[in-house]
Amino acid sequence: MKFFTVTLTAAALALPIGTAHAETLKIMAADLPPMVNSDGTGREAEVVSSVMQHCGYDVSFELQPFTRHWASFDNGEGDAVMTVPTGMPMAGTQSKTYVSYQNGVSFLADSGHDIGSLSDLSGMKIAAFEGASGILPGLSDTVDSFASYREMADQETQSKLLLGKRVDGILGDGMLFAAYMTNLRIAGAASGVDANQPVQFRAIFEPSTYAMNFRDPEIAAKFDRCFSELEADGTIAKINTKWVDKYRDTLADDYLSM
């Protein structure tokens, strides 16, 4: 399994000789494009790097599969870990919520399905991300009503199952699904599926909130302060809107009400 480490500098201009460099924090991150891309860009990565730069820190992201990055932090890796469900017990000091994911269902537009709630998935073949039944509210109590249900870490495979009509819907964050759809369309015939089929997204769950955990409680407090300052001046909203707009064709206005 490949891990990626990407360092982002806190200033674009070279520092004069003799000027002290900012401290670099190693942050354990989930490999979840377009939230965090392998080059250190992405909606969530940009929020974190902007906040830390505002606090005077550089950041180095180490990307690992989702949930594995939590275990790595608990085992002593990194100065901080991101995409931690708010309130989840973990080593270090937790920040306040800094990002929300909008989970829902993605489905083929020509399927004829009218989906407005979790109960509307009854009798359908559903796929979801690994661990979804323990994260998405109400899902574990509903899966018995589905014609079939499976969880998998490979979200590209999920997308192909939908396009091949082997499942009726995909449960997960709408932006993540839209990004995989974009990649399949770019791949064209090489993807092995007809990725030009129009898809729709419905936000049938409340947004899932995430925090960061820091080993140093003082840095956690600085993160909260700097996030509040960037939230107040509109920086955080601009970052979120910019990234959501990239996938507006799929998400419409149903992603975090944007």
- Spatial CA neighbour of 9 closest among 60, 77, 82, 69: 60
Per-residue model confidence as pLDDT tens digits over 133-167:
988 999 999 999 999 999 998 888 999 999 999 99
Mean pLDDT score of the chain: 91
Banded pLDDT at 131 (limits 50, 70, 90): confident
Per-residue model confidence as pLDDT tens digits over 61-82:
999 998 999 999 999 999 999 9
First to last CA, the chain: 35
Instruction: Round to whole Å and give the CA distance between 77 and 79.
Output: 7
Return the pLDDT at 5. Answer: 57
Percent over 70 (pLDDT), the chain: 92
Instruction: Round to whole Å and give the CA distance between 123 and 139.
Output: 14
**Whether the predicted pLDDT of 11 surpasses 60:** no
Beta carbons of 119 and 141 less than 8 angstroms apart: no
Banded pLDDT at 21 (limits 50, 70, 90): low
This model's pTM is above 0.95: no
Instruction: Round to whole Å and give the CA distance between 201 and 9.
Output: 36
Mean pLDDT confidence for 10-23? 47
Strands 58-64 and 93-94: unpaired
103-202 classified as CATH 3.40.980.10: no
Per-residue model confidence as pLDDT tens digits over 186-233:
988 888 889 999 999 999 999 999 999 999 999 999 999 999 999 999
**Whether the predicted pLDDT of 3 surpasses 80:** no
In the chain, where are the structural domains located?
Answer: 4-100+209-251, 103-202
Instruction: Round to whole Å and give the CA distance between 209 and 102.
Output: 9
Banded pLDDT at 6 (limits 50, 70, 90): low
Please determine whether the domains at 4-100+209-251 and 103-202 fall in the same fold group of CATH: yes
Instruction: Round to whole Å and give the CA distance between 29 and 45.
Output: 9
Helix then strand then coil, % of the chain, to nearest 5: 35, 25, 40
Both tokens of 27, joined, read 């942050």
**Whether the predicted pLDDT of 22 surpasses 90:** no
**How would CATH label the architecture of 4-100+209-251?**
3-Layer(aba) Sandwich (3.40)
Banded pLDDT at 258 (limits 50, 70, 90): confident
**Whether the predicted pLDDT of 2 surpasses 90:** no
Return the pLDDT at 17. Answer: 41
Instruction: Round to whole Å and give the CA distance between 182 and 81.
Output: 28
Percent over 90 (pLDDT), the chain: 78
Both tokens of 247, joined, read 């996938």
Return the pLDDT at 257. Answer: 76
Beta carbons of 96 and 45 less than 8 angstroms apart: no
Instruction: Round to whole Å and give the CA distance between 64 and 134.
Output: 20
